[in-house]
Each structure stands twice: as structure tokens, then as C-alpha cells.
Amino acid sequence: MSEGWTIRPATPSDTAGCGRVIFEAFGAVNTRHGFESRWLSADFASEFVREFASLDGIYSVVCEHEGSVIGCNFLDERGDVRGIGPTAVAPSVQGSGVGQALMANVLERAGNGHSVRLLQDSFNMGSMSLYASLGFEVKEPVILMRGRPSEVTGMLLGVRPIREGDLEACSRLCHAVHGFDRERELSDALRLEGRMPLLRVRDGHIVAYTSGFGTFGHAVAVSDEDMRSIICAASRSGQDEIEFLLPTRYSEFLQWCLGRGMSAVKPMTLMTRGRYAKPRGPWVPSVLY
């Protein structure tokens, strides 16, 4: 215990408190820098926490003061790579050590045997400084893209929803690109309401898949054309717009998105601690990694 607050594992009764802190924390920093927050309300954030924290393999922790949640953090333990976030601290206690204590808790749990990764808003110098001081290194500049790409004639060929029987082949593709798979995460996505896991088959082989676009979805592909195909298919599957995180080093991919009417919403940064190998193909990270 420090400064009258306590770090402890989260329980279902903390859901509303976590949602409130996430809404307030991200709303404050985004507004301060002229960006919109994806956390539309405290209720919206609470519903996310309820669903996310209930998944097998998600570790949740809170900071409590006088019976109220003033900070929260999450660790995705569903694969060999660990993903951290969302990490949130109530605006009234930011800079007091709560964020550092929450990060220390999940890093201790992750141990030294795993690569640990996160994405942070590039304009948030407070979180950038905190993560760098804890040994995280900048690996990729990323942009949150949003829109509905135009001129998709012929781009949807071979795209279909992912089925349980596709998981092994999707895992092989992810391993070929990243050196690890995200099969448990993809399996969860098949059961989550509102997600649209898609794949593309070309010449009898799975050449691209997404666990569902949005900041908590990821994707990998053999070629840029394959990645573009599932982006176009997702944008034509009932949503007005889609969102995804685009590594800006893929300049041709970025130019294609912008040239078809999509918008760059805000900059983010992929930071890692532990082993990291440069991806060997087109990829879209989630907000975790």
C-alpha cells in the first residue's frame, strides 16, 4: 500500500469503476491534445471491461482508494506474447505513481520469459515516458485509420467468414509473418458479439485473415493485395466505416487507404519489452500488440 491506495486483482464488482476511469482518463488526454476518444461513455467502457475481463487468459488489476477504483490495467496472456492495456489512471491522481504501480504489477506477472507489448497514443508524453522508463522500446509508428474504401470492384474475391476449422491454418499464417500465433485470441473472436473474423483464400490457401477490424482486432496477410481484400470485405459487411491500426512504414498501403477516401485519425506507437522480430509480411496490430 502507498499513499493510501492499494493494488489488487480486479473482481466483477469493479467493472463500473474501471469503465469510469477508462472513460475519464482517455477522454481527458485526447481532448487536451485535440483528438477524439474511442471511449464514448463510461457505460460503453464498462461494457468493454465486462466482456474483455471475462475472457479466459485476461488478467485484470485495479488501484483502489477509499473503496473507489482510481486506476486499472489488463494483461493479455492468451499467447506467448503478452499484451498490456488499456492502462488508465483517474485524471485527479495522474502523476502520483498509480500508473507505475499498475504497470509494475502486470510486468511482474508477465515475468522475464515473454515478449511484452503495448500501443500508446503518440501525443501522450506521460505514458511514453512511463513505458520507456520501464524498459519498453519504440518499434513501430502506427496510425489509426477510419473509413470505407472506395473502388473495391474485384477486391472481394475469395473472402469469407472464419470457421473453427480454419484456426490451425490461420495460426500458421500468423506464425509465418510474426514468429508466433494468436490462435486463442482468434478463437475468442469467433464467439464475441459484433466481431467479424474474415479470411481470404487464394489458390486453395489462406492468404489473409483478420480477427475483426477495430482497435482490438489484428490481421496478417501474404501480400498487400490480400490485406486490401479483407479490408474491403469488412467495410462492405454492414458497417458504415471500419477502423484499424496501420503501421506507417507500409507507405504504399497507407497511400492506397488515403487514395480511397479513408482518413488518418490519430498517431500511435508500438512499444515492446523483450524479444521482437520484424514482421515478414503485411500486418495490422491490435491496440494490445
Is 189 within 8 Å of 51 (Cβ atoms)?
Answer: no
CA angle 73, 79, 85 (to 5 degrees): 20
Residue 52 counted as domain residue: yes
Is 37 within 8 Å of 26 (Cβ atoms)?
Answer: yes
**In angstroms, rounded to a whole number, what is the distance separating the alpha carbons of residues 117 and 175?**
17
Q: Residue range 272-288: average pLDDT?
A: 96
Residue with cell 477509499: 66
Query: Does the pLDDT at position 285 exceed 90?
Result: yes
Residue 256 counted as domain residue: yes
Percent of the chain with pLDDT over 70: 99
CA angle 92, 93, 97 (to 5 degrees): 165
In angstroms, the Cα distances linking 152 to 63, 113, 245, 247 are 47, 44, 20, 22
Task: Say if residue 221 is in the same domain as residue 173.
Answer: yes
Higher pLDDT, 194 or 148: 148
Task: Say if residue 186 is in the same domain as residue 278.
Answer: yes
Task: Say if residue 153 is in the same domain as residue 252.
Answer: yes
| Range of weakest confidence among 38-47, 63-72, 191-200 | 191-200
Task: Say if residue 150 is in the same domain as residue 259.
Answer: yes
Task: Say if residue 105 is in the same domain as residue 153.
Answer: no
What is the Rg, in whole angstroms, of the alpha carbon atoms belonging to the chain?
Answer: 19
Task: Say if residue 171 is in the same domain as residue 109.
Answer: no
Query: Does the pLDDT at position 3 exceed 90?
Result: no
Query: Does the pLDDT at position 2 exceed 60?
Result: no
CA angle 274, 276, 280 (to 5 degrees): 170
Residue 196 counted as domain residue: yes
Is 78 within 8 Å of 72 (Cβ atoms)?
Answer: no
Q: Which of 72, 93, 114 is the last residue of a domain?
A: 114
Residue 120 counted as domain residue: no
**In angstroms, rounded to a whole number, what is the distance separating the alpha carbons of residues 227 and 102?**
36
Instruction: Write out pLDDT tens, residues 224-258.
Output: 999 999 999 988 876 578 999 999 999 999 999 99
Is 141 within 8 Å of 113 (Cβ atoms)?
Answer: no
Task: Say if residue 149 is in the same domain as residue 270.
Answer: yes
Task: Say if residue 273 is in the same domain as residue 151.
Answer: yes
Task: Say if residue 93 is in the same domain as residue 169.
Answer: no
**In angstroms, rounded to a whole number, what is the distance separating the alpha carbons of residues 252 and 18?**
39
Residue 258 counted as domain residue: yes
Number of domains in the chain: 2
Task: Say if residue 268 is in the same domain as residue 164.
Answer: yes
Residue with cell 508524453: 125
Is the peptide bond prior to 9 cis by the omega test (within 30 degrees of 0)? no
Task: Say if residue 151 is in the same domain as residue 56.
Answer: no
Residue 124 counted as domain residue: no
Residues 6+ apart with CB under 8 A from 216: 52, 286, 287, 288
Give me the CATH number covering residue 230.
3.40.630.30
Residue 262 counted as domain residue: yes
Residue 221 counted as domain residue: yes
**In angstroms, rounded to a whole number, what is the distance separating the alpha carbons of residues 149 and 120?**
26
Q: Which of 65, 91, 114 is the last residue of a domain?
A: 114
pTM of the model: 0.94
- Which residues constitute the domain of residue 60? 5-114
Task: Say if residue 104 is in the same domain as residue 208.
Answer: no
* Amino acid in position 233: A
Phi, psi of 212 (to 5 degrees): 120, 120
Is 178 within 8 Å of 247 (Cβ atoms)?
Answer: no
